[in-house]
Amino acid sequence: MTESFDVVKLGANIGARVDGVRLAGDLDAESVAAINSALLEHKVIFFRDQHDLDDAGQLAFASKLGTPTTAHPTLSEGESVLPIDSRYDKANSWHTDVTFVDRIPKASLLRAVSLPSYGGTTTWASTEASYDQLPSPLRLLTENLWAVHTNQYDYVREHYDRHEELTYTVREYRDEFVREYYETEHPVVRVHPATGRKALFVNAIYTTRFENMTPAESRPLLKFLYEHATQPEFTCRLRWRQGDLAVWDNRCTMHYAINDYDGQRRLMHRTTIKGERPMGPRN
């Protein structure tokens, strides 16, 4: 039976709320197609108050949108639901998930499991809108650049390398995420495989430099692109409620979890959908 639901646009460039759908139920192919269409159009979509959705249900819904993959490349096979626990990491840097591998995840699903009493919102940015708003000479320049991505700047390692005081559990958690080194090259502008739209494809956590350039030579333009891509006009924000689920297109967005909850615990569960190798306008 086809679900009847409404898609409520939340911003000019990114974000929509999907009302009237129960994700733990049986969604038919027509409903799934409509949800996928909303995701392609709005880049990130929010499902409020999915209180009967558990890990198994989240994974089952992810399976309707694509092929779930291991939650993080360094984790054991079969671990498809990743706890994002603020005791160990806070994801409070602008990033696109797991860009240091050859095949970038298509999408991520994030469910609120335990929330602080205040704060802890998440912001997403459309890298399609930010590409569209570049001056034409910079669009031409970026379309001809490739960048190197590595996991040496993973936010778990970043906190570690600042020599913060870490408990054994946190240190063990960090070591799990960086025990294997990854490095790959991607076009700075990628073409979306489903829509054909162009998007900036760099992020401050994983992008280290441009191909055939040093980090020092790359830094000024990268800094400009990061700041340009995260202008408020290109963003939307979710104030989480228990049971909420967010789904975002990882191919044309960045996101940032705001750390403004004074050390309270914030626990989210993430599922990742398998994607493809990014293609640029020149390849």
pLDDT tens digits, 200-241: 999 999 999 999 999 999 999 999 999 999 999 999 999 999
Structure tokens at 156: 């778990």
Which residue among the candidates 17, 72, 97, 251 is catalytic per the annotation? 97
Q: What is the pLDDT of residue 74?
A: 65
Catalytic residue among 72, 111, 186, 270: 270
Measured CA to CA in angstroms, residue 168 lies from 149, 160, 171, 174, 175 at distances of 28, 12, 5, 10, 10
Q: Establish if 67 belongs to a structural domain.
A: yes
pLDDT band at 76 (very low <50, low <70, confident <90, very high): low
Q: What whole-number percentage of the chain has pLDDT above 90?
A: 77
Residues 71-89, mean pLDDT to the nearest whole number: 76
- What does the alpha-carbon distance between residue 15 and residue 7 come to, in Å, rounded to a whole number? 10
Whole-number pLDDT of residue 275: 96
Which of 98, 138, 99, 122 lies closest to 44 in space, CA to CA? 122
Tell whether 194 is covered by a domain. yes
- Domain range for 37 is 6-273
- Look up 54 and say whether it is catalytic: no
Task: Work out the angle between the directed axes of helices 29-42 and 55-65 (0-180°, nearest 10).
Answer: 80
Q: Is residue 131 a contact partner of residue 200, using CB atoms and an 8 Å limit?
A: yes
68-69/253-257 β-pairing: unpaired
Q: Answer whether residue 283 is part of any domain.
A: no
pLDDT-derived band at 175 (thresholds 50, 70, 90) equals: low
Give domain status of residue 281, yes or no.
no
Catalytic residue of the set 95, 174, 190, 269: 95
Q: pLDDT value at position 215?
A: 94
The reported pLDDT for the residue numbered 75 is 63
Task: Examine residue 212 and state whether it is found in any structural domain, yes or no.
Answer: yes
Q: What is the CATH number of the domain that holds 203?
A: 3.60.130.10
Nearest partner of 272 among 75, 22, 38, 120, judged by Cα: 75
What is the rounded average pLDDT for all residues in the chain? 89
Q: How confident is the model at residue 163 (pLDDT cuts 50, 70, 90)?
A: very low
Full-model pTM: 0.89
- Check if 192 is active-site: no
Q: Is residue 227 part of a domain?
A: yes
Work out the number of other CB atoms within 10 angstroms of the CB of residue 213. 16
State yes or no: is 95 an active-site residue: yes
> Quick check: is 1 in a domain?
no
Q: Does residue 89 fall inside a structural domain?
A: yes
| 42 is an active site residue | no
CA 115/CA 11 separation, integer angstroms:
25
Higher confidence at residue 171 or residue 69?
69
Catalytic residue among 174, 251, 255, 266: 255
Whether the Cβ atoms of residue 36 and residue 195 lie closer than 8 Å to each other: no
Compute the average pLDDT of residues 257-278.
Answer: 96
- What do you get for the CA distance between the two ends of the chain, in Å? 42
Q: Structurally, how many domains does the chain consist of?
A: 1
